[in-house]
Amino acid sequence: QILGGIDPRSETSVIEQGTKLELPYWIAKVFLEDGVALFEYPKIFTEMYRDVLKADASVVDLFKMSKYFYEFGRQLTFLRHRDSEELSNTLIQTFIDRFRKISDWAQATSLEAGTADKLENLERSIMARGQKAQSKLSYWLAHGVGTITTAEMVGVHNKRKKLEEEFNIHKN
């Protein structure tokens, strides 16, 4: 009750029971672990937003909602909240729904400006890695790596097999 300083609207050093505050995750987590507070998910993780993501996750601007949508959402699932399992399922399904488009964009030879603007940081990282891998594959397909030859061990094995057949040698 002596933490009134964390509420900018408070004129005293006491936080009244039932007061609603927006707190950084790390402070809220400590209060929750100590059992001195209850919490509600940030707006972007509420049931209304989860329903929008279920309807069509590919059109949602996750970057605008939260640059670290998946990571922050994952951290929230560790807190004991009645909707933690539902949030976890939504995060997984959102990623699955958006992954196909990210994969397609990574393989595209050219993209419209702003294509990746709606992707949050994890998705942007995956797309960048995919583009890099696609570039390396394209280079390899165009230039190759030289002549592929039979390994020496395979050659020796084939010669031995031929000799065995030629001289009718059978191993027991």
Contacts of 20 (CB under 8 A, 6+ apart): none
Q: How far apart are CA 57 and CA 119, in angstroms?
A: 11
CA atoms 37, 41, 43, 44: torsion sign: positive
Q: How far apart are CA 116 and CA 96, in angstroms?
A: 17
Domain ranges within the chain, ordered by starting residue? 40-146
Q: How many residues does the chain have?
A: 172
pLDDT at 152: 81
The more confident residue out of 158 and 4 is 158
Q: Report how far apart, in Å, the C-alpha atoms of 5 and of each of 2, 12, 14, 39 are.
A: 8, 8, 8, 19
Max avg pLDDT among 23-37, 78-92, 97-111, 141-155: 78-92
Q: How confident is the model at residue 8 (pLDDT cuts 50, 70, 90)?
A: low
Q: How far apart are CA 110 and CA 103, in angstroms?
A: 13
pLDDT at 12: 61
Tell whether the model's pLDDT for residue 112 goes beyond 90.
no
Q: How far apart are CA 122 and CA 102, in angstroms?
A: 11
- Each residue of 120-138: pLDDT tens digit? 999 999 999 999 999 999 8
pLDDT at 144: 78
CA atoms 54, 77, 36, 9: torsion sign: negative
Q: Report how far apart, in Å, the C-alpha atoms of 55 and of each of 42, 98, 145 are.
A: 20, 12, 46
User: CATH fold of 40-146, please?
Assistant: Methane Monooxygenase Hydroxylase; Chain G, domain 1 (1.20.58)
pLDDT at 2: 45
- Each residue of 58-97: pLDDT tens digit? 889 999 999 999 999 999 998 878 888 999 999 999 999 9
